[in-house]
Structure 1
Amino acid sequence: MLALILATSAVEALGATFNYSQPDIDSGKALQDLSRIAKENALKRLSDSSSGCTGENVRVREERIAYTKAVECLIETPDVYQNISGAKSMFDSFGLLHYYQTPYIHNSAYFLLWHRAFVWIFEEKLRTVCGYTGPFPYWEWGLDAGGVEQSPLFDGSPTSMGGNGEKVNRSQGLFPGGTGGGCVKEGPFSNYIVNLGPLTASDPLAHNPRCLKRDLNTEICRSSASLKNTTEVMLESPNIELFQANLQGDFRYPESRKWGLSVHGGGHFIVAGDPGGDFYFSNIAGTITMMNRPPSRNGTLDDVMDLEPLGGAYTLGEMLDTVGGSPFCFVYE
């Protein structure tokens, strides 16, 4: 899911001309090269940084085992929304923040930069509240398009994010179901209690304790979030407006219909299960909400995003650079 932010870094390549072969696009070789270019461009800007970001303190985003322990710490930390009965932890508070702002942060100018700030604030809480010292991980979905169930992220081992949900037989939905659907029984987060949701409940913010569910879906990963899809979205989006539309699957733009559920939607539905397991899944509702509202004006660099009570208020301009001129000091590996 966090590979969305890797794509954000690569947006610097928009407008440039690249001549990758189709086999290189399909295999991920082109994406690897785009990621290298994005990192090099970020590091070149370090000398111009005004925020204290240097080559010595810049964080490199790689996966580390300690991350799961830090998340478990947030799950044990009290929530910051005192008036919501269903929220029991700071982890729940992040879901609530996303839930409340969903109507404004999808299919809009806020989409990429709001989520960049959101993930950064989450990382800062891992560090300041839970003492986490490692880099922040992201998931490149396309690496698992050959079989999500075999991914080291979901194999149920102590170093994973927990296993698949137990197999559940159910009727066909809008698209083919995955290989699980029931409660997660193996690995980290197998004992995690989901407190909020689902969104279809009469009161989605009420306390509704239940197990964490997952329904890993390789077919969705292959058809919507492959290395090929991620790379083509970057290469075939001549401006930021179309890049965001193609990334989100905004069907108001005919071009975006090429990539199925989109790499963004596909990233969510690869894991599927109970949306309350990670209230972040509520962003799917944002697409429907925004498509039923009149178009808003174009965003500007001075527009303000308010991430209280977990974070502060930031302008879009402050969120643009990950190594200077903003609170950030990181690159992707």
Structure 2
Amino acid sequence: MRENGPVTSATRQPETPASPQLSTSPEPGGSPGVPPRLIATDLDGTLLRDDKSVSPRTVAALAAAEEAGIEVFFVTGRPARWMDVVSDHVHGHGLAICGNGAAVVDLHGGPGAHRFVKVRELARPNALDAVRLLRDAAPGTVYAIEQTYGFHQEPDYPKLHMEIPDDLAPAEDLLAPDGAAPDEPVLKILAYHPTLNPDAFLTLARLAIGDRATVTRSSPSALLELSGPGVSKASTLALCCAERGIAHEEVVAFGDMPNDVEMLTWAGQSYAMGNAHPAAVAAASGKTTANNEDGVAVVIERLLAERR
């Protein structure tokens, strides 16, 4: 999840196609001979430009993919309430995997009317253990808590997101059995450290928390995202594909950050953006142009041209 909230779509002109030094064909180990049935794309830093707009070229490419019978899934660290930025571009399919796999959301209802189709929560005992273990391992860590409809944070958690929290209290109080919205599932914990290197913080947190939660990151700052054990973009995408009879070889995935690594590894074809973190580049079978250069559209256009 990026640190800034959604902005409405702008109307930029399309950029030029892929730069020659980037490979929009999969490397060995991909599945270029298998016709794709589903496109799974991250949003921030991938499908969206840095100003959070969806370019006209990308909108056209998504529509063309769906007209060709290829389903499109948005797979993001964003909570459901931040999905309005793409709600106008779903072209009828209207499903998104949010919170790094913690929820599958139906966007058909439009802004403010999202329906949760699947929820993979972080159990409160696990959440409390993770908070305490990471607080011990990295003193100075502060927390925010994402629920299906609520957002709560500690008083010292910085203003990283464009919203006002529902509650301000220590994470241990928020996660207690009688804490914030106790009947509402916890989807994700955000853990921020003001001084640690982001990748070093991620490594430290994974070692400290172990199997009590899945730990990843998608922000350029030292902001980590904690989900339920085994919950990731890839594992929830795999569940959704199994329900549709779609094999991983029939999936094309796009991403740019460590929270995309499992999905990029799992998909038959996968592409890291030109602006991607080294971990995403290493996990993907191919590479495309940067998000500001419509890298997702570049690949979709090529895939559709190959089908003709």
Normalising by structure 2, we get a TM-score of: 0.30
Q: Greater helix percent: which structure?
A: 1
Q: Greater strand percent: which structure?
A: 2
Normalising by structure 1, we get a TM-score of: 0.28
